[in-house]
Structure 1
Amino acid sequence: MIDYNGVEIYWTGHDGYRIIGTDDKNRKKTVYIDPFQLSSGHHNKNDADLVLISHNHFDHMSLEDLRHVINKQTTIVAARECIEQLKLLEFKESKGVKPDDKLSIHDIPLEIVYAYNTNKKFHPKDDGKVGFVFTMNGQRMYHAGDTDIIPEMESVKPDIAFVPVSGTYVMTAKEAAQAVNEIIKPKRLVIPMHYGSIVGNEKDAENFRDLVSTCETKILERE
């Protein structure tokens, strides 16, 4: 975990995060992103105010893991392709979203952005898989989802970015560093993800860190 300007960021593995910060009314909120293969330390927390799900692949939308984080007041914001499966769970409400949507959930501003492959078939642009931009503690955070380098990244302008680095299904470490240095340009911090579970390993994260030159890079320990 790192505490970055008042935002607690826990990497739960793969593309998953538990983020604790304040909303636009300075109230404490807990956000989960793509929880998958949660460690026992995260079991039965059921503390999510908001859950973000980028797409319906099993390593991003895991009903088993969602049951450990949701409660009757949780809102789940997910790519539209996820909504039918989410009906098997008990929580407050779900919102199916697509790229370019903007909304506010629990006083957390959200922008839905594109996430897709340009040179492989796993995440077609037309499928509506997504990334997220959200603001906590006044910091604009970008979870890129499963993506290659895409032109839509240029308009995000985040303070903190989470980017995939494993290759195979997403950007390689070299491509991800290029995206950060030339297109995304986070103002403060970038964190590598999408390794150590399905594909990729810590060496990918280290290679990425060594190639990023425009902002601070943090490799988190899985919790």
Structure 2
Amino acid sequence: MDLYYTIVSPPSQSVVLLAKYLRVPLNLKSLNLRAGEHMSEAFLKINPQHCVPTLTTEDGVSIWESNAIMLYLVERFDKTGKIYPKDPAKRAVVFQRMCFDLGTLYKQIRAYYTPLLTQGAQPDVNVLKELEQAFKYLELFLAGSKYSTGDELTLADFALVTSVTSAITMNFDVAKYPYVDRWVKLCKSAMPGFEEVSKEAEAAMKAIKETMNNFTSSFEWNRSPENHIFNR
């Protein structure tokens, strides 16, 4: 299977980490979004929405949106039934946390940091309040358990942790949330390849920050809108 991705994208990182955990070999195809590779005729045939990550199966089926990709991988390859439990109530909690990431936590991370990355603008203080509230909710979820849905690692942790580490990379002070801070460390030890993926992502993000200083306008960046990079 081919995974079209960019390592700076937290959703891409989630899929890569899950595949490593499930020991699913993926043919990684890194796309340079700023060079417009996601707008090529060949890729548009695969994914007309031209976002990453995008998975193509052996049968030629294209799947995009990281949550959809992860659900496909876990349904097909998780033989233990632990990271996406079969019990309907437990599964619903996992899915709720993934929805929380998509609609609340990751949404606020994008809202706060995107102006900085795309335009070099100062983040909005009011949006910061919303971001901090999202972290408070996550802190509450983690207060009584090791992981985001309980004491076992689940699919929700793969979705949430890359959102959190992307904020940390942008200098968000996660130490203010001790349960979140503890949980990130647990995920690092429980997810194979976490450090490797994180270091590669941090290096890519550093390069983006440095090149932002060379832009005389936002036009070049805006040819690759942020939703193509950060689609969850």
TM bracket, shorter-chain basis? 0.3 to 0.5
Return the structure number with greater helix share.
Answer: 2
Return the structure number with greater strand share.
Answer: 1
Structure-2-length-normalised TM-score? 0.32
